[in-house]
Amino acid sequence: MNDYYKESFDFVNSFHPIPESTFKQIYEFSRLKRFGPNEKLIDLGDTPQKIYLIVKGVIRSYVILDNGKEITQSIFVPKMFFTSFKALIKRMPSNSIYETISECCIFEVDYALFTKLCKSDLQVMTLYTKYLEYIIFDESDKYIEIVSFNAKERYLSLRNRIPDIDNLMPQYHIASYLGVSPVQLSRIRSKLN
């Protein structure tokens, strides 16, 4: 087993404990892949077939507005699952792009095989349910931040979640995620320093 096996097993168990034998079944139809910076894992219009678990690196998801402007929706760092869940579950084209920011190591989990295992293993189904609950709560927290926090508070919250965010990705991606201009973000950072 590779170095990421135990870390991934512990992370999965943080949502719902499953036996290692069950985890091994999921692991067997997963692939650990390495990607360079600026590689698209899911492009606009792709119908995703995989769930990803990032174990090294930084990923962002973003949309492109009609005027060509990119808006970062989410930032993913190690020990986070990601995919375009709505597109995956509904088997429809993604309206978001998922792209590596840095060199990444990512587990790709075949969704069809995973859902097949869910049907035969209550522990896996419970794990999946617990993770979907986590996504709902996390999205609710993000929405509250967007509508009730000012830009400085959103930035501090992001730094609290991802302490080295300023070293992990370009300032303009962070600014886009926060809904501010790079100049505004620069001012916020300079006032904090």
Give the tens place of pLDDT for each residue, 111-132. Answer: 999 999 999 999 999 999 998 8
> Mean of the pLDDT values across residues 43-48?
95
Element (H, E) at 64: strand 59-64
Residue 1: pLDDT over 70? no
Assigned token pair, 106: 């990512």
Q: Report pLDDT for 5.
A: 81
Q: Please state the pTM of the whole predicted model.
A: 0.87
Instruction: Supply the pLDDT for residue 145.
Output: 86
Q: What is the share, in percent, of the chain residues with pLDDT greater than 90? A: 67
What are φ and ψ of residue 100, in 5° steps?
-75, 140
N residues, the chain:
193
Stretch(es) of the chain classified as CATH 2.60.120.10: 1-132
In what order do the strands lie in the sheet containing 30-35?
30-35, 104-110, 50-56, 80-82
Question: How far apart are alpha carbons 85 and 108 in whole angstroms?
Answer: 14
* pLDDT band (50, 70, 90) for residue 2: low
pLDDT surpasses 90 at 3: no
DSSP-based helix, strand, coil % in the chain, nearest 5? 50, 20, 30
Contact 87, 48 (CB under 8 A): yes
What tokens appear for 179 in the block?
A: 């809904």
Q: What is the pLDDT of residue 29?
A: 87
Q: What is the CATH number of domain 1-132?
A: 2.60.120.10
Question: What three-state secondary structure class fits 187?
Answer: helix
Which residues neighbour 44 within 8 Å (Cβ) at sequence distance 6 or greater? 64, 93, 94, 95, 96, 97
Residue ranges in 99-181 assigned as alpha helix (H) = 111-120, 122-148, 151-161, 165-168, 171-178
Query: What mean pLDDT comes out for the span 84-106?
Result: 95
* pLDDT (average), residues 80-88: 93
Please give the structure tokens belonging to residue 185.
């973000």
Instruction: Render pLDDT for 145-173 as a digit per residue (tens, 0 to 9).
Output: 888 999 999 999 999 988 889 998 999 99
What does the block give as tokens for 40?
A: 């698209």
Average pLDDT over residues 39-45: 96
When mean pLDDT is compared over 1-10, 44-53, 157-166, the highest value belongs to 44-53
Q: How far apart are CA 17 and CA 28, in angstroms?
A: 18
**pLDDT attached to residue 159:** 92
- Over residues 85-99, the mean pLDDT reads 95
Residue 61 has pLDDT above 80, yes or no: yes
Average pLDDT, the chain: 91
Cβ–Cβ < 8 Å for 82, 75: no
